[in-house]
């Protein structure tokens, strides 16, 4: 199971601005995730559909279309450059498909995808995609938040 901390990437390495992070899908949530990651990394790209017309407020490179095939990903490769980390967001089947195709075509060091249904964890893992279990991340965050507030009241 993939766990994240503020000072550690999902693969256990420390954050480095040298990583090129690619966020795939997730619509506005995916773009917001990419923008948040851009605060820690020099190069962040987002591939997905967004309604936003004004891109001036972001440092994220936006490719405003989702690939329909591996050929589309190969066509994006020159524009995206070398990718170190891929995170795919969306419904389980969408995020798994996207992560698998981008992993196969771009060969990043780390590939993760959001996972809503824990019963599918082994499917994600079998394809080489690290599952990011959203319910577990939320529970961890709430636990940390509760603990930090309790320490403030002591």
> For residue 2, what pLDDT is reported?
37
Tokens of 105: 């075509």
Assess if residue 70 is contained within a domain: yes
pLDDT at site 33: 92
pLDDT (tens digit, 9 = 90+) per residue, 5-37? 344 555 555 455 578 999 999 988 899 999 999
Contact 92, 110 (CB under 8 A): no
Q: What is the pTM of this model?
A: 0.77
Q: What is the pLDDT of residue 5?
A: 36
Task: Give me the pLDDT at residue 7, please.
Answer: 41
In a domain, residue 49? The reply is yes
CATH number of domain containing 98: 3.40.50.720
Arithmetic mean of pLDDT over the chain: 83
- Domain of residue 94: give its range: 20-153
In a domain, 54, yes or no: yes
In a domain, 2, yes or no: no
Q: What is the pLDDT of residue 74?
A: 87
Domain count, the chain: 1
Q: For position 59, what pLDDT does the model report?
A: 81
Kindly state whether residue 6 falls inside one of the protein's structural domains.
no
- Let me know if residue 64 belongs to a domain: yes
Rounded to an integer, what distance in angstroms lies between the CA atom of residue 24 and that of residue 109?
A: 16
- Would you state the pLDDT for residue 147? 81
pLDDT score for 46: 93
Q: What is the per-residue pLDDT for 45?
A: 93
Quick one: pLDDT at residue 1?
37
Dihedral pair phi/psi, residue 114, rounded to 5°: -65, 145
**Does residue 9 lie in a domain region?**
no
Does 3 map to a domain? no
pLDDT the model gives residue 23: 95
Q: Which residues of the chain have pLDDT under 70?
A: 1-17, 52-57, 64, 154
From the centroid of its chain, how far is CA 41? 13
DSSP H or E segment with residue 63: strand 61-63
According to the model, what pLDDT value does residue 4 have? 36
Residue 147 CB burial class (10 angstroms; 0-12, 13-18, ≥19):
exposed
């Amino acid at each position: 199971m993939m766990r994240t901390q503020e000072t550690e990437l999902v693969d256990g390495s420390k954050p480095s601005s040298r990583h090129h992070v690619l966020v795939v899908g997730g619509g506005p949530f995916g773009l917001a995730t990419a923008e948040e990651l851009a605060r820690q990394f020099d190069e962040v790209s987002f591939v997905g559909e967004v309604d936003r017309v004004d891109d001036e407020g972001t440092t994220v490179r936006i490719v405003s279309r989702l690939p329909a095939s591996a050929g589309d990903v190969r066509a994006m490769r020159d524009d995206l450059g070398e990718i170190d980390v891929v995170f795919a967001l969306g419904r389980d089947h969408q995020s798994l498909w996207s992560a698998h195709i981008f992993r196969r075509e771009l060969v990043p060091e780390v590939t993760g995808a959001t996972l809503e249904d824990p019963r599918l964890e082994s499917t994600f893992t079998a394809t080489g995609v690290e599952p990011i279990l959203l319910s577990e991340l939320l529970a961890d965050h709430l636990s940390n938040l509760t603990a930090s507030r309790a320490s403030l009241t002591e």
